[in-house]
Chain A
Amino acid sequence: MRIPFPILLVVVVAIFFDARADTLSFDFRDPRGVSQVAFRLDAPLESINGTAKEIAGTVTVDPNNLSTAKGKIVVTTKSLVVPNPIMRMHLLSKDWLNVRSNPEISFEIKKVGRVMQKGADASEVEVTGAFTLNRVTKEIVTKADVIYLPGKLGETTNNKVHGDLLVVRSNFKIRRSDFGIRPGEFLDKVADEIALSVNVIGSAPRKI
């Protein structure tokens, strides 16, 4: 049986638009200040714990097929905060993060590998990405928990904007020496290894 061309065209177009409709663009700016990247370094008196809150970036993904994820998450370097003001001044100075020359820290998704379903809307994924810090880019492979919350955006905006949320959580470690941050120096005062804990929330508004 031959299918008439116009019907075939309509079917192909419908499938194409249906597939596109599943791909959402999540904006990771979070005016509520819940999204953050926490960092921890060992140091003699007490560990250095801090957070970065100015997060931006966009990730496009089909929530039903996380391996389609593409995008970049960007952290503003000057938003890094530690409880001690002198320590923060040193951290942002040209001797360490050099915030004037390196205003951003970023992670660009290159590939999403294995996806493991953990619940109805929760999955664990293996992400390969380009992590850029201090103008040095390194490939990083890490696991991330991804939680898709359809229709939950309204609860964070007093129902002014409706849409979906995408929560991404990941923990991984980097070495400051790999990124040219005083390699081999002050190892007795500030550890080489930096533990990062990423908790970011993206929102995809929808028209009702």
Chain B
Amino acid sequence: MKAQAGSNKVVVLLRALAALSAVAIVACWISLGAHMGWSQTRIPVQRTDAVTATTFTDYEERFLPGLDFLVAGLLGSAAIFALPLVIPKSKGSNRR
């Protein structure tokens, strides 16, 4: 009985962790710009040179998460959520 209760606790904890991480990843992706392309570590910024009136691309060094970040993060959360299904059940729960 004790083993089964402990096992259930772990399952609940893992699922809560999975839900939290999924929410955190989606929130992070949205708050940093909800970029629909690949993740970027340098962000292109258009600037204009006053002398020659030439428009050129400069880069800001910062992280912009893309769809790859979102998908990888959600897959990771799904893996945590599914972890109890692949972990062998304890003897206590097997007896039932």
Query: A60–B41 Cα gap in the complex (Å)?
Result: 39
Is B7 close to A, CB under 8 A? no
Is B87 close to A, CB under 8 A? no
Q: B37 near A167 (CB under 8 angstroms)?
A: no
| Chain B min CB distance to A157 (Å) | 10
A83 partner, pick from B36, B42, B55, B58, beta carbons under 8 A: B42
Q: B43 near A152 (CB under 8 angstroms)?
A: no
Residues on A lying within 8 angstroms of B by beta carbon are 32-36, 38, 45-46, 49, 51, 81, 83-85, 87, 147, 149, 152, 155-156, 165, 167, 169, 199, 201
Q: B52 near A167 (CB under 8 angstroms)?
A: yes
Q: A83 near B54 (CB under 8 angstroms)?
A: no
| Chain B min CB distance to A166 (Å) | 10
Q: A149 near B52 (CB under 8 angstroms)?
A: yes
Interface of B is mostly: strand
| Chain B min CB distance to A122 (Å) | 11
Query: A45–B69 Cα gap in the complex (Å)?
Result: 14
Interchain Cβ contacts under 8 Å between A and B, 8 examples: A83-B40, A83-B42, A84-B39, A85-B41, A87-B38, A149-B51, A149-B52, A156-B51
Q: A152 near B51 (CB under 8 angstroms)?
A: yes
Closest A residue to B36 by CB, please name it: A46
User: Which residues in chain B, 52-71, are within 8 Å of chain A measured between CB atoms?
Assistant: 52, 54-59, 64, 66-67
* Set of chain A residues within 8 Å of B6, measured between Cβ atoms: none
Not counting A81-B42, A152-B52, A165-B51, a sample of 5 additional A-B residue pairs whose C-beta atoms are within 8 angstroms of each other reads A35-B56, A36-B56, A81-B59, A83-B64, A152-B51
Closest A residue to B52 by CB, please name it: A167
| Chain A min CB distance to B36 (Å) | 7
- Given A34-B52, A147-B52, A165-B52, is A45 in contact with B38 using a C-beta cutoff of 8 Å? yes
Q: B39 near A32 (CB under 8 angstroms)?
A: no
| Chain A min CB distance to B63 (Å) | 10
Query: A152–B52 Cα gap in the complex (Å)?
Result: 9
B44 partner, pick from A83, A85, A167, A201, beta carbons under 8 A: A83
Query: A147–B53 Cα gap in the complex (Å)?
Result: 11
* Set of chain B residues within 8 Å of A169, measured between Cβ atoms: 54
Query: A81–B56 Cα gap in the complex (Å)?
Result: 13
Q: B52 near A201 (CB under 8 angstroms)?
A: yes
* Set of chain B residues within 8 Å of A87, measured between Cβ atoms: 38
* Set of chain B residues within 8 Å of A46, measured between Cβ atoms: 36-38
Sorted nearest first, the 7 A-B pairs with minimum C-beta distance are A46-B37, A83-B40, A34-B49, A84-B38, A155-B51, A167-B52, A51-B57
